[in-house]
Amino acid sequence: MTILEAIIIAIVEGLTEFLPISSTAHMVITSSLMHLEKDPFTKYFEICTQFGAILSVLVLYFKKFINFKSPAFYLKLVIAVVPSLILGFLLNDFIDAKLESPLFIAIIMILGGILLLFIDQWFGQKPIIVAEEQIDNKLALKIGFFQCLAIIFPGLSRSAATIIGGMSQKISKEVAAEFSFFLAVPTMAAASGYKTLSYIKDEGFFSSEQLITLLVGNAVAFVVALLAIKFFINFVKERGFKIFGIYRIILGSVVLGLIYFKVIG
C-alpha cells in the first residue's frame, strides 16, 4: 500500500464512518476499484483508520467524555457496546468473509437504502426523547442490539443500524445520531484494539514504513471525520435521511453493475 492509496482509503473512512451509508461498503468498493492487494496489512489498515475517526468524536464532544461527575453516561455506553463485542468475537470469521464479498455488501446497501427512504416517515414524528440524558440503561441496551445488525449484515452501516434503532424507540433523530457517535467510540476502539493485537500476534510488529502509513491514514481520517460529523448533524436536522437512502440504492446498483461486467469481483 502506497501513501497515496492510504490517504484515499482514509478519506473514504472519514467521510463515511459516521454517515448511514456504510464505511465498510465504501472501503471494500474503493479497495476493489484500486485493485489493492488484500495482504494482512491492508486489511488491518482499513480497520485501524477508525482510530482517527474515534478521535474526532472525542474532540467534538470533549466535555461530554470528560464529565466524570456523570458515570451514568459511561455506564450506558458500556451496556450498549456489550452485545456487539460478544457477537463480533463469535462471528469474526464470518465477518471477514463477508467483507470480501462486494455482491453481498451491494445487496445490503440497497436494502438499507430502502429503509432510509422511509425512516423519517415511520419514526421521525413527535419523538419523546430529545436529550441524551433521557436515554436509560434499558434503552441503551436496545440500541446496542440494533448495532449488532451491522455485524450480521456488513454493508448495513453501524450508524444506520443504531440511528434507525434509536428513532424506532422514539428518540429524536439528532439525539439518535449523536448517541450513535458516542457508541462508536468504545465499539471502534475495541475492534481496533483486537485487530491490532491479532495482527501483531500473526505478523509481528509494524515496520517503519507501515507506522508512517498508519500515522498519515489516521490523521487524514481524523480531519475528514470532523467535517463529516458537523455536516451530518446539521443536514439531518433540516432534511432527514431520505437522500442517504437514495445514495445507497444508486451506489449499490452501480456496484452490482460493476460486478456483472467483471470490473470488480
Residues 142-194: tens digit of each pLDDT: 999 999 999 889 889 999 999 999 999 999 999 999 999 999 999 999 989 98
Residue with cell 461498503: 25
- The closest of 50, 16, 44, 51 to 30, measured between CA atoms, is 16
Check pLDDT > 80 for residue 213.
Answer: yes
Check pLDDT > 80 for residue 244.
Answer: yes
Residues 73-110: tens digit of each pLDDT: 999 999 999 999 999 888 877 777 767 788 899 999 99
In this prediction, residues 187-211 reach a mean pLDDT of 92
In this prediction, residues 205-226 reach a mean pLDDT of 96
Using 50, 70 and 90 to split pLDDT, how confident is the model at 221? very high
Helix (H, G, I), strand (E, B) or coil at 246: helix
Check pLDDT > 80 for residue 209.
Answer: yes
Contact between residue 241 and residue 119 where contact means Cβ atoms under 8 Å apart:
yes
DSSP, residue by residue, 90-143: HTHHHHHHHTT-HHHHHHHHHHHHHHHHHHHHHH-SS-SB-SGGG--HHHHHHH
* pLDDT value of position 94: 75
Rounded to the nearest integer, the mean pLDDT of the chain is 92
* pLDDT value of position 1: 86
d(CA 210, CA 187): 24
Using 50, 70 and 90 to split pLDDT, how confident is the model at 208? very high
Residues 107-136: tens digit of each pLDDT: 999 999 999 999 999 998 889 999 999 999
Residue 142 backbone phi and psi in degrees, to 5: -60, -45
Residues 51-75: tens digit of each pLDDT: 999 999 999 999 989 887 779 999 9
Contact between residue 162 and residue 176 where contact means Cβ atoms under 8 Å apart:
yes
Q: Computed over its alpha carbons, how large is the radius of gyration of the chain?
A: 18
The CA-based diameter of the chain, rounded to the nearest angstrom, is 57
d(CA 47, CA 144): 20
* pLDDT value of position 120: 92
* pLDDT value of position 107: 94
In this prediction, residues 16-38 reach a mean pLDDT of 88
* pLDDT value of position 196: 93
d(CA 105, CA 256): 10
| Its pTM surpasses 0.75 | yes
Using 50, 70 and 90 to split pLDDT, how confident is the model at 24? confident
* pLDDT value of position 37: 83
The C-alpha cell at 148 is: 449488532
